[in-house]
Amino acid sequence: MQTLYTFSIFLYGWAARLAAPFHPKVRLWKEGRDHLLRKIEQEMSSVPAERRGQTVWFHCASLGEFEQGRPVMERIRELYPQSLIILTFFSPSGYEIRKKTPVADFVWYLPLDTPANARRFLSLINPSMAFFVKYEYWFNMLKELKRRDISIFMVSAVFRPGQHFFRWYGKWFLRQLKNVTWFFLQNGEAKALLESHGIKNFTVTGDTRFDRVTAIAASPVEYPLVEKFSKNSRILIAGSIWPPDDALLFPMIVNRKIKLKYILAPHEVHEARITSLMEGIRKTPGMPVGRDAIVRLSELTKGNASRAKVLVVDSIGQLAHLYRYGSFAYVGGAFGAGLHNILEPVSFGKPVMFGPRHTKFTEAVDLIRLGGAVCVKTPEEAKALVKRLLADPVHYQHMSDVCRIYSDSNKGATSRILDAIRSYGFMPRGFSQTEVKS
């Protein structure tokens, strides 16, 4: 099975190279791996020998997993300032946005997961510990890490019965989990599933995303022009939206009886998507036709901020901070592949709504049950909820309180993870902890 897995990786790599000329994202994926190991060798040659012995490697699939792993990276940097932090990504949507993050010393793509690449990559970086975030399992890399006796930690890991580990054909995949030193699980469901398959090297520590979003909420970035746009208005902020989400929101945006302004942040911010979103709103019957009715964030000025009805976020990196300006939030993705991050608005105490494909997300299920979130399937359901929130301040406050309490009560996973690593004796020699300010 190992041979078949490796063969599939080779096929994946060749397919990506064939598709690269026709797909911009695949082209970035391919170009980022051209001569990658040579680049890593060159960059690692500049690292002093004393720091190489304190190398910590983090791997994330994409941007969402980076934000999930970020609190652990930051805490390791805080506790062990001499450590060398290496960050790798699988996807261009993570690498291209965070390739200059100050959290890590080096940021690269992950080499294709072949046995030869795994051996060379690990020989070049020589990590003391390796952290994989949520559900990143590269089996040749895990096998080589295990062979070298390097501790492997899964951060905010999730498991569900439908995953390939637990299917009729999944025995080989399940055995590969034995290469992992320790699992830091998000919830009891994952705990029960691992226990039922004889895996006991885990601790339920919760989701590190709560630590990240509560830190953002405690120190949000201010946007004076957005403040002017929002002044004396109620705001619905729709984050990480796709075209199916547009179809749900447009009828509400053009409804003159609903006294709201809107901040719309599409999941993809390339020019074609921004133009399509803005034109779609303009062409919806009932939309005001004034030149400043719809404005891009990059074109917001003191002159048009108060006149605009819709603000379109046309860049990456602002959304988590912009949620503070909303009265309530809509989070996209749940009419497609799956719901995006609802914890960002929730951490600000914003009632949140989203589409039907949310059942794999614990926080969405929890907040619906607790009364802080609502699933909306049609434009009519969305409008009805917004009208109630505007008309019933008691109900609005209840939803807001539920969200804030839920966010605050679930933070602390980062500290639990680092405490466990130290208490279980996994911290390598050479790591000297500095005094940390509380």
Q: What is the C-alpha to C-alpha distance for residues 261 and 259, in angstroms, rounded to an integer?
A: 7
DSSP conformation class of 202: E
Residue 53 phi/psi, 5-degree rounding, is -75, -5
CB 239 within 8 A of CB 323: yes
DSSP strand E in 362-427: where?
A: 373-375
pLDDT in tens, the chain (438 residues): 999 999 999 999 999 999 999 999 999 999 999 999 999 999 999 998 878 889 999 999 999 999 999 999 999 999 999 999 999 999 998 999 999 999 999 999 999 999 999 999 999 999 999 999 998 899 999 999 999 999 999 999 999 999 999 999 999 999 999 999 999 999 999 999 999 999 999 999 999 999 999 999 999 899 999 999 999 999 999 999 999 999 999 999 999 899 999 999 999 999 999 999 999 998 888 776 667 799 999 999 999 999 999 999 999 889 999 999 999 999 999 999 899 999 999 999 999 999 999 998 999 999 999 999 999 999 999 999 999 999 999 999 999 999 999 999 999 999 999 999 999 999 886 676 654 433
β-sheet with 261-266: strand ranges across: 294-296, 310-312, 261-266, 235-241, 328-331, 352-354, 373-375
The alpha carbon torsion through 356, 357, 362, 364 (nearest 10 deg) reads -30
End-to-end alpha carbon distance in the chain: 49
Rounded distance, CA 329 to CA 382, Å? 11
Identify whether the C-beta of residue 54 lies closer than 8 Å to the C-beta of residue 80.
Answer: yes
Which pLDDT score is estimated for 292?
Answer: 77
With left for phi above 0 and alpha for psi between -120 and 50, is residue 42 left, alpha or beta?
A: alpha
Q: At what angle do helices 63-79 and 413-423 cross, to 10 degrees?
A: 50
Asked if 324 contacts 348 with a C-beta cutoff of 8 angstroms, the reply is yes
124 by Cβ neighbours in 10 Å (0-12 / 13-18 / 19+) ranks as middle
Inter-residue contact 334 to 241 (CB < 8 Å):
no
Cβ neighbours around 360 below 10 Å, total: 12
- pLDDT value, residue 435: 41
In whole angstroms, give the CA distance from residue 238 to residue 332: 7
As a whole number of angstroms, the distance between CA 348 and CA 319 comes to 12
Which DSSP string do the residues of 266-325 spell out, in sequence order? ES--SHHHHHHHHHHHHTSTT----TTSEEEGGG--TTTTTT-SEEE--SSS-HHHHGGG
The strand pairing partners of 375, in sequence order, are 354
Question: By the 8 A CB rule, do 146 and 80 touch?
Answer: no
Where do we find the tokens 């970086």?
125
Which of 425, 334, 416, 423 lies closest to 156, judged by CA?
416
Q: What CA–CA distance (Å, rounded) separates 293 from 301?
A: 13
CB 229 within 8 Å of CB 308: yes
List 236's β-bridge partners, or say none: 262, 328
**In a 3-state reduction of DSSP, which class is residue 373?**
strand
Residues 6 or more apart from 382 whose CB is under 8 A from it?
Answer: 248, 249, 252, 330, 353, 376
